[in-house]
Amino acid sequence: MQSENNLCAIFLNDDGTPAVLFPTPEALEIMSIREIATKDIPFGKPFKIVPVDSLPQDKPQHEWEIDPLTLTDGIGMQGFVMSAQGDANG
């Protein structure tokens, strides 16, 4: 099984350029890569978790070709805040 320290999340910016989220080791001590990506990737952006060593090394990031249909591991929720209404008695 792949160590979460060697994983990152890829997604597409609004202009279609690829973006990569690299979690810090400190964040991975308290959350999974999926939880971090869901929390930190912009709201509504689908993402894919991939091994860092699978990222293309032969061309600049803005030239990577990512099929949006492969971004199936989750959806970013950055900026989404849930609030509870009421109290413990309903």
pLDDT in tens, 57-76: 999 999 999 999 999 999 99
The CA-atom distances, in angstroms, between 84 and each of 1, 3, 19, 73, 81 are: 37, 35, 33, 27, 10
pLDDT of residue 3: 77
Phi-psi sector, 84: left (phi>0), alpha (psi -120 to 50), beta: beta
| pLDDT at res. 4 | 83
pTM of structure: 0.83
Q: Write down the pLDDT at residue 56.
A: 93
Residues of the chain falling short of pLDDT 70:
1-2, 81-90
